[in-house]
Structure 1
Amino acid sequence: MISLPVSRPITPCLLIDLMSWPFFSLSKSPRHVPVSFRMGHVIMHVAGRDDTPMATIWDADILIWAVSTLVAARRRGQPLSPHVRGSMRDVLRFLDRGETSARYARLRAGLERLADTRVTTSLRQTREGALGFSWIVAWQERRGELDLILPQWLCDAVGRRAVLDLDPRYFALTGGFERWLYLLVRRHAGRQKEGWAFDLPHLHEKSASRSPYPRFVFEIRRLVTADSLPGYRLRLEAPSGDVPVLHFMPASETYPHGIVDNHVEDS
C-alpha cells in the first residue's frame, strides 16, 4: 500500500497516454454516449456502466493525485503498489478544491464514475487482444481515509516512468476543452523550445469531441485569444485556402521548469 506523509508536498503528474487520447468526457453535463474512437493503430471504446455517465476530465484529477502519489513514492525508493491511500482532505487540498461538504460529495461522485467507466483500448494490447479496464478497481472511504486500488497496468506504467509533471495551475482551468488542450500541449510540446503543431482537422478528430468542426475551431480561436494555458503560448496560422494549424510552445516567462524534455514523437 502506498501512502505519503502529509507534510511532504507532491508534484502533479499524469501518464503520457492519458494526455493524448480521448479517455474522458469534456462536458460538465453527464455524458452517456460512449466514445468510440479509431486513429491509426489506436482503437478505444469508453462508456459508463448501465445508466452511469462516463468519467469526466475533472474526475481524472483523482487519477492525477493517485499517479502523483505513486511517482513520489518511486522517487523515494519505495516499492510500488496499485493500492494507494490518503485522506479525502489531502486529495481536495492537492486539487485545490476547498473542503466544503459539496466538494466532498463531488469527490465521491467522481470516484464512482471512475469505477463505473469501462475502457477498452488497443493501447494496452496483450497477446489475447485489446485490454479492458476501469479507472479504479475498488475504492473505500472510512473515517475520512480513502483507499484506492488502481489497475495494475497503471502502476506498472508509473514504474516505467511513462509520466510527465504538470503545472499545478492546471487545476485552476475551469473549462473541459482548455483542460484537454493543456494536457495535449504538455504531452507533445513538453519543454521543447520549438514547441509542436497540429492542423485543426487532426486535432478535432483526436479530441473525439461531439461538437461540430466549426464550433471546435471557434473554441480554439477563443483559447488562442485568451492565452490562458499555463506555461504555454498558442498561435493559430490559417493562410487563405489552407488548413489552419495550431502552434504551441513553452512561454519562457511563465514555464515552471528550466530544463528541456527529450524529443517527443507524435502518435
Structure 2
Amino acid sequence: MSARQVPPVLSPCLLIDLMSWPFFSLSKSPRHVPVSFAMGRVTIQVSGRDDGPMATIWDADILIWAVSRLVAARRRGIPVSPRVQGSMSEVLRFIGRDPAAIRYERLRTALDRLHGTQVTTSLRQTRDGAQGFSWLIAWQERRGELDLILPQWLCDAIGRRGVLTLDPRYFALTGGFERWLYLLVRRHAGRQSDGWAFDLPHLYRKSASRSPYPRFVFEIRRLIAADTLPGYRLRLETDSSNVPVLRFSPDPSKDTYPQEPVDNNVEDS
C-alpha cells in the first residue's frame, strides 16, 4: 500500500543520516563538481549524472515531504513502500512555497536533479559494500499529480525508524549554509539541555565545504549573530588548546522546536 492514503497534515521528518553528512549542494547556483568525502569509516561520493548539476539542499525539501509521508503511513500501520504519491500543490504547500506556475516548473527541475544525482556511500552498507543509488529512482507527473519511486536505501532507514522531526520553519531558512547547520544542530543537540559541540576544524571537514576555512568561520560567526536557527542557540567558545568550538543547545525562550517527541527508538542526541 502506498503513502497516498496518508492525511495531508504531516510533521516534517528527515533521515538522521541526511542531517549529519554532506549529501547536497549548499549553493543556489548549479554545482557540477562532485562531492568526495571521507571521515573515519564514512565515505560519500555525490555527483550529477553525465556531468549535470547535483541536487541542492532546497531540492531535498521534496525528500522531506516524501519521508514525512512514509513515516506517517508507517505510524498508521501501513507498510513502508518506495512509492509515494501526491499532488504538486500539496508538496509546495508542505514546503512553504506559493503554488504559482513558476514554482511548478522549479519543482520539476528539482525532481530532475534528484533523479540525476548519483550517490555512493558506506553508510548503512550491505555485505556487498558501499551502496549506490539516486535520490529518486523514477518520477512522473500527470495533470499536477506526482508519482515518485524512492531508493530502497531511504525506505530501509525509515523502516528502522532512523528519522527525526524538524521545525516547519526550517523551510523558511533561505541560506544553504544556514539550512545545513540547522540540520546538523537538530541531529546532534536534540533536546539535551547541555546541547552538543564541535570544534570548528572538525565541523569544517564534516561540511565538505568548498569555501576556504576563514570563510567558513566567518559564516559561523554571522549565523551566531543572526540567531535565526529555530529552537536553538549558538555560541562560540575556545577549548584548552585555544581551538574555536561551536556549542549549540535548545533555547526554550524561542518557543519553537523541539516540542513534539522524536520518532520512536531514535536517540535524540
What aligned pairs does 1:192-207 form with structure 2 within 5 A after superposition?
192-207=192-207
Letter in 1 for 2:109: A
Displacement after TM superposition at 1:238 (Å): 3.5
Displacement after TM superposition at 1:258 (Å): 4.1
What aligned pairs does 1:1-267 form with structure 2 within 5 A after superposition?
1-4=2-5, 8-238=8-238, 242-253=242-253, 254-258=255-259
* Residues 212-233 of structure 1: per-residue CA shift (max 9 Å, x gap): 0000000000000000000000
How big is the alpha-carbon RMSD for the aligned residues of Structure 1 and Structure 2? 1.6
Displacement after TM superposition at 1:255 (Å): 3.5
Task: Work out the CA distance in 2 between the residues paired with 1:260 and 1:165.
Answer: 8
Task: Work out the CA distance in 2 between the residues paired with 1:263 and 1:138.
Answer: 32
Structure 1: gaps (5+ residues): none
Displacement after TM superposition at 1:5 (Å): 5.1
Task: Work out the CA distance in 1 between the residues paired with 2:187 and 2:239.
Answer: 26
Moved more, 124-133 or 227-236: 124-133
Letter in 2 for 1:194: D
Residue identity over aligned pairs, in percent, reads 72
Secondary structure in 2 matching 1:3: helix
TM-score of the two chains, using structure 1 as the length reference: 0.95
Displacement after TM superposition at 1:124 (Å): 3.0
Displacement after TM superposition at 1:51 (Å): 3.0
* Residues 188-230 of structure 1: per-residue CA shift (max 9 Å, x gap): 0011111000000000000000000000000000000000000
Task: Work out the CA distance in 2 between the residues paired with 1:85 and 1:11.
Answer: 17
Moved more, 88-97 or 76-85: 76-85
Displacement after TM superposition at 1:264 (Å): 5.2
Secondary structure in 1 matching 2:148: strand
Moved over 2 A (4+): 238-241, 253-265
TM-score of the two chains, using structure 2 as the length reference: 0.94
Displacement after TM superposition at 1:260 (Å): 7.3
Structure 2: gaps (5+ residues): none
* Residues 5-63 of structure 1: per-residue CA shift (max 9 Å, x gap): 55x41000000000000000000000000000000000111000113100000000000
Secondary structure in 2 matching 1:24: coil
Secondary structure in 2 matching 1:89: helix
Letter in 2 for 1:29: S
Displacement after TM superposition at 1:248 (Å): 0.3
Secondary structure in 1 matching 2:182: helix
- The answer as to whether partners of 2:237 and 2:245 remain within 8 angstroms in 1 is yes
- The answer as to whether partners of 2:32 and 2:54 remain within 8 angstroms in 1 is yes
Letter in 2 for 1:94: F
